[in-house]
Structure 1
Amino acid sequence: MACNKSFSSNYFLLTPEEVGFFDLIHILFSTTKFEEGIKFLDMSKFVSKPLSELGSGIEVALNLIPSNRNVFVFMLNFLRGRAVKPDKTSATFLSFIGLIDKRVELDGSIKHGDANYHAALSAMASKASYENSACIETIVKNHWKMKFLGFYDFWNDYQGKATTQAFLLRDKTCDQDTIVVAFRGTEPFDADAWCTDFDFSWYELYGAGKIHGGFMKALGLHKNDGWPKEEVKQDGKPPRPRAYYAIRDMLNKLLRQNDESRYIVTGHSFGGALAILFPAILAMHDEAWLLERLQGVYTFGQPRVGDEKFGEFMEKQLKEHRVPYFRIVYGNDMVPRLPFDDNALMYKHFGTCLYYNRHYEVKVVEEEPYRNYFSSLGAIPKMINAFWELIRSFTISYAKGPGYKEGWLLRIFRIIGLVIPGAPAHSTQDYVNATRLGSSDVFVPPKDI
């Protein structure tokens, strides 16, 4: 069924019926402005299943040793024919992201009331969001001593299946009550998520500017109705749960239990894009009460989500409702530098960027260095920086403590980073480190936001 696009004043649409891979390359590298209606290949039709099976096989293989306690027990069990096969739904099974950075404990030196407390909690919640429901629940309840409110799979109207994940927790003490909403980012072997990332379609919404189509679709954009304030029934049946609507309704219910309750929204990578788009849709729907309860938005390695007009719209809304927005970027992470900020795609960041270098020293800047990843001027400096990051991976545990030790899997990625600088910099490891080791002064709220 054709999509009714009357909810937008203008649009740039990528559809799967025509053209192919080289059109995507053209979009990524060209500085030519594109005409509306361009079409490009939906790779999920061809690679979704094999990529998922490859990723599943790698994750199971990497979980084999922990499932059998250690390598010696595994070898003994294997020879006896009693090797324990990892259960992907168990609390001990770790995702590929979780295997790169196995930390589950919060930094005990960062306490409630510290300026960087919510940033550090958000970084860990964003990292935990890549795990399965049982694993997240165990982390939240047993390690963080907080209340697990649920893990959810949300419907994507355009992909025809549930492709968006998020979980909620409650961090409550005698003097504060905070709900955390954490959106999952792009998993390395999830073709559906990659298709969302590379869906550079945009829709221009009345008064709000142009917004990344793939991210809006993942958050809950209706295929024929855009962003109605309430979900639309399909053939008289209750609507499938879409991320924005379901989370909004949950927050409305949870926050009304306590007048002092507040919430924060967070996410890493693609999850960060959804985190900042969530209050954008709240603003479009005039959800003033929920915006006033929003204590902050923390994103890590977030890609661009809209054009300059959208940025101006969001800055006005965030200022009006006094919502702090922290867009955290580590080093040469490639994702915050995509989609391009150029004449072709016109995507732009907004708000304040907290930029951390490889020493986890932070600067408040308008834009991270080398704003577009494929910058010829930045190639050599990026490779040099990647080399020093590789060296640091062997020394950081001695300089900062055992909690910062990097495993062999991340070191392999550091080596890959010598050729593709910016790839390992997107790992959650560096973002967790940044919120723990960087100065907390940048999170001190100004007197007048």
Structure 2
Amino acid sequence: MASKLAYENEAVIRRTVTDVWHMEFIGFYNCWNDHTNQITTQVFMFRDKRRQPELVVTAFRGTGAFDMAQWCVDFDISWYEIPDVGKVHGGFYKALGLPKKGSWPKSVAHSLGQPPSAYTVVRDEMAAAVKREPGVQLLVTGHSLGGALAVLLPAVLAMNGEDDILKSLAGVYTFGQPRVGDEKLGEFVGNRLKTTPARYRRFVYCNDLVPRLPYDDSSFMFKHFGECVYFDSFYHAVVMEEEPNKNYFSLLQVLPKYINAGWELVRGLVIGLTLGATYKQSWAMTAFRLVGLFIPGLPPHTPYDYVNSTLLSKT
């Protein structure tokens, strides 16, 4: 089943990249997690040769709804401490490609047909792009789990001295990204991105639960860093340091969250009529909105509202 889903995902992505976006598809990769001994990470890459300089995009896939291996990654909130760098979410760090023994490898090396790690395959494709066209622009993005891996990638590139790649990193944009580490890690990544042309933007839609996890308190000490672009339920954007209600379970926010969930249900029923077929909400999404009347932080995490936010925001 997993391999069939992976094939179907690749087919859909390939058609979207080539037929809709008219870009060149580089590859769809199912990547190995050395700690769980299974595939937990999917990433695809494509490029736009029409741009000058060329643009190469790396997109990490978020957690699949029925992928237990990826759910285990999300819930592994053990700390992994990196000397002189900071503490990082253990599950995300391992999913990016941390080897069980030794340091990060300098090349893609695997045996008996075992897939490569996400970090090594992405790094090697990026290095090839930089060598092919020194002025190339590299863009990294991802939703949910994919966003966590996207923002950790520059940290590992910096740790391994991949300066040529970092210099070409034009942007890191994440959507519905959970917290990935402590304050020291945030300072390390922030400082490295400041020395490159890269712009890190963390997009958060309304009451999305995931960006409020793991908790930012004295027990967990997970911290966001960089600017947050926050969208309310009318798709208005505001740039701020931290999204409102940062740990989600504030008693002051209980009633507004449920009222907003009701508004999102109504909005979804009429948005296709008012704004056109591009924005029409599926029946599956409508059903999920009903779930939101009980757990209002779940439906806002889907890509649907993030796509609408980027298309409809006027600020």
TM-score normalized by structure 2? Answer: 0.94
1:272 corresponds to: 147
**2:65 corresponds to which letter in structure 1?**
P
Deviations 1:78-112 (A, max 9, x none): xxxxxxxxx8577xx5xxxxxxxxxxxxxxxxxxx
Answer yes or no: is 1:228 the counterpart of 2:104. yes
Question: Of residues 47, 63, 75 in structure 2, which corresponds to 1:186?
Answer: 63
Matches within 5 A, 1:266-415: 266-415=141-290
Deviates more, 1:344-353 or 1:366-375: 366-375
**Secondary structure, aligned partner of 1:155:** strand
Does the Cα contact within 8 Å between 1:386 and 1:414 map onto a contact in 2?
Answer: yes
Alignment-derived partner of residue 170 in structure 1: 47
Instruction: For residues 126-182 of structure 1, give each alpha carbon's deviation from its aligned partner in whole angstroms, at most 9, with x where no partner exists.
Output: xxxxxx212211111111111010101111011101221100001121534101101
Offset at residue 239 of structure 1 (A): 7.8
Deviation readout 1:404-427 (Å, 9 max, x if unpaired) = 010111011111101100100001
SS at match of 1:256: helix
Report the Cα distance in structure 2 between the residues aligned to 1:300 and 1:89, rounded to whole angstroms: 22
2:312 maps to which residue?
437
- Structure 2 counterpart of 1:151, one-letter code: F
Cα shift readout 1:281-310 (whole Å, capped 9, x = no counterpart): 011112111011011001000000000111
Instruction: Give the drift of 1:196.
Output: 0.3
Secondary structure class of the residue paired with 1:395: helix
Measure, in 1, the Cα distance between the counterparts of 2:10 and 2:117. Answer: 18
Rounded Cα–Cα distance in structure 2 between residues aligned with 1:417 and 1:228: 41
- Which structure has greater strand proportion? 2
Q: How many residues align?
A: 315
> 1:161 and 2:14 equivalent?
no
Q: 2: distance between equivalents of 1:174 and 1:262?
A: 10
Q: 1:201 aligns with which of 78, 89, 104?
A: 78
RCO (CA 8 Å, sep 6+): is it higher in 1 or 2?
1
Q: Secondary structure at the match of 1:431?
A: helix
Secondary structure of the 2:151 match is helix
* 1:394 CA displacement: 1.5
User: Unpaired segments of 5 or more residues in structure 1?
Assistant: 1-51, 57-86, 94-131, 442-449
The structure with the larger Rg is: 1
Q: Structure 1 residues 307 and 408 mapped into 2: Cα distance closer, same or farther (>3 Å)?
A: same
CA distance in 1, matches of 2:233, 2:6: 35
Q: For the aligned residues, what is the CA RMSD?
A: 2.1
Q: Sort the Cα spacing of 1:427 and 1:233 in 2 relative to 1 into closer, same or farther, 3 A.
A: closer
Give unmatched runs, 5+ long, in structure 2: none
CA distance in 2, matches of 1:240, 1:394: 43
Aligned pair in 2 of structure 1 residues 436, 308: CA closer, same or farther (>3 Å)?
same
Residue range with higher mean Cα deviation, 239-248 or 428-437: 239-248
Query: What TM-score comes out, normalization by structure 1 length?
Result: 0.67
SS in 2 for 1:350: coil
